[in-house]
Amino acid sequence: MESVKAYDFNTEYFKMDEEVAMQYAKEVLKFFPIDSELTCKEIGDGNLNYVFRVVDEESNKSVIIKQAGPVARISDEFKLSPDRNRIESEILQLQHKLAEGLVPKVYKYDSVMNCCCMEDLSDHEILRGALLKHKTFPMFAEHISTFMVNTLLLTSDIVMGHKEKKDLVKSFINPELCEISEDLVYTEPFFDCERNDVFEKTKPFAKELLWDDEAFLLETAKLKFEFMTNAQSLLHGDLHSGSIFVKEDSTKIIDPEFAFYGPAGYDIGNVIAHSIFAYINGMSTMEDGGEKENYIAWVKQTIVDVVDKFVEKFNKVYDEKQTEKVAKYEGFKKYYLENILSDTSAIAGLEIARRVLGLAKVKDITIIQDEEVRYNAEKYCLQVAKELIMNRKYIIAGKDYLDIVEKY
């Protein structure tokens, strides 16, 4: 009989491999009987962590173990506190209460091994991957708008007691991951930053359109300070299509390790930006015909619905759940929502620009093989991005986004 190596999971952190993850699932998590025959695969494809899927084929039970390392997976230039795993576990549990059914269940957070054990969502697929196959998800806008209204508005000073809210601000202070966003979203895409490896053909266009435009750079500076100082809502903080699992009738939001108290528009802007990436990928890579028409029509409708459903549900929840006396004053709700919506537009623009010009790019663009087609897609993205940032005060409804998406 093969002997099983004994690991000490209680004293000191060490990085798991597949064998260790199986052992952990039995011994610590007690998710499987000790004598069960398990399989395990590391399935993480994000930039930071390791994700193990442990399965018992016989009982069909499975679990996910997500472990944070001391450096980012994408590059050891990023030394990151494993506290991000605590943040992720606690936020998932909080979001589970605020937006039931829209996040995976957490089974355990382990502060020694820096891992979070959670529900396996393998019957779903990652939204970005599904979009790259040009699949459509008719319920997506409905689900994501509910998720955003519930998690953003219910954690704001409009609804929460202000002391209780400040306790959450304290718990989810997230300096290292915020610094990544401050650098990667707000700063480095807007000059010729060496580590960004910008697509060569696009560089002169980026220089003329963005890097040399002082009025534009000033707006990015204002937005960076808004990100760093406006503790409005408890954000997911990285709500792109790689952080969302989907199947036809279900949406599950994962990976909230970038969570902190910031401007509510940050999450909504991310969802719109990555929907626009789905649009430009479809336009650039699909053959003309019915399939392309259906897909493009669905993406456009999704962009419109994400914004308009957010606004509709926001108004309703605000009226039902507001507790702050002055938030009831005539005109305040409109003022508050308009600020969120202008942030949303600007952040959609920043996210689009940074995924083209920054360190962390998106497959929607990078898989475009033909250089001329990719160049045109990147030019399109940068023009849309600039308009979303510069005209943010006027981009407040789904239709306004549609006009810009169709304009270039």
- What does 184 bind: Mg ion, ligand SR1, none (CB cut-off 5 to 8 Å by kind)? ligand SR1
Partners of 9 in beta bridges? none
Least distance (Å) between residue 33 CB and ligand SR1: 36
Contacting ligand SR1 (CB under 6 A), which of 157, 188, 226, 238?
Answer: 238
User: Residue 46 or residue 269: which is nearer to Mg ion going by CB?
Assistant: 46
Per the CB < 8 A criterion, the answer to whether 281 and 376 are in contact is no
Per the CB < 8 A criterion, the answer to whether 105 and 96 are in contact is yes
* Residue among 13, 1, 278 at smallest CA distance from 133: 278
| Neighbour count for residue 217 (Cβ, 10 Å) | 13
| Neighbour count for residue 133 (Cβ, 10 Å) | 8
The single residue listed with the structure tokens 């759940």 is: 321
Work out whether 47 is an interface residue with ligand SR1 (CB under 6 A): yes
Work out whether 81 is an interface residue with ligand SR1 (CB under 6 A): no
Which positions from 156 to 195 touch ligand SR1 by CB under 6 A, shown as an x/- string? ------------------------xx--x-----------
Q: State whether residue 121 is helix, strand or coil.
A: coil
Work out whether 72 is an interface residue with ligand SR1 (CB under 6 A): yes
CA distance 132 to 123: 18
CA distance 347 to 268: 8
User: Residue 74 or residue 173: which is nearer to ligand SR1 going by CB?
Assistant: 74
- What does 32 bind: ligand SR1, Mg ion, none (CB cut-off 5 to 8 Å by kind)? none
Least distance (Å) between residue 128 CB and Mg ion: 11
User: Residue 46 or residue 282: which is nearer to Mg ion going by CB?
Assistant: 46
- What does 157 bind: ligand SR1, Mg ion, none (CB cut-off 5 to 8 Å by kind)? none
- What does 155 bind: ligand SR1, Mg ion, none (CB cut-off 5 to 8 Å by kind)? none
Q: State whether residue 65 is helix, strand or coil.
A: strand
Least distance (Å) between residue 48 CB and ligand SR1: 6
* Residue among 266, 267, 239, 275 at smallest CA distance from 255: 239
Please give the C-alpha separations between residue 105 and each of 90, 100, 250, in angstroms, as whole numbers.
11, 10, 14
Per the CB < 8 A criterion, the answer to whether 278 and 299 are in contact is yes
Least distance (Å) between residue 367 CB and Mg ion: 19
Work out whether 36 is an interface residue with ligand SR1 (CB under 6 A): no
CA distance 118 to 380: 39
User: Residue 90 or residue 238: which is nearer to ligand SR1 going by CB?
Assistant: 238
User: For ligand SR1, which stretch binds (CB under 6 A), given 19-27, 41-49, 114-122, 164-172?
Assistant: 41-49
Least distance (Å) between residue 63 CB and Mg ion: 19
User: Residue 47 or residue 136: which is nearer to ligand SR1 going by CB?
Assistant: 47
Contacting ligand SR1 (CB under 6 A), which of 4, 74, 173, 297?
Answer: 74
Least distance (Å) between residue 46 CB and Mg ion: 4
Residue 198 CA neighbour count, 13 Å, CB half: 25
CA distance 246 to 289: 25
Query: What sections of 230-326 are H helices per DSSP?
Result: 265-285, 290-321
Which spans of this chain sit near Mg ion (rule: CB under 5 A)? Answer: 46, 255
Contacting ligand SR1 (CB under 6 A), which of 286, 360, 390, 402?
Answer: 360
Which residues of this chain interact with ligand SR1, rule CB under 6 A?
Answer: 46-48, 72, 74, 78, 180-181, 184, 238, 360
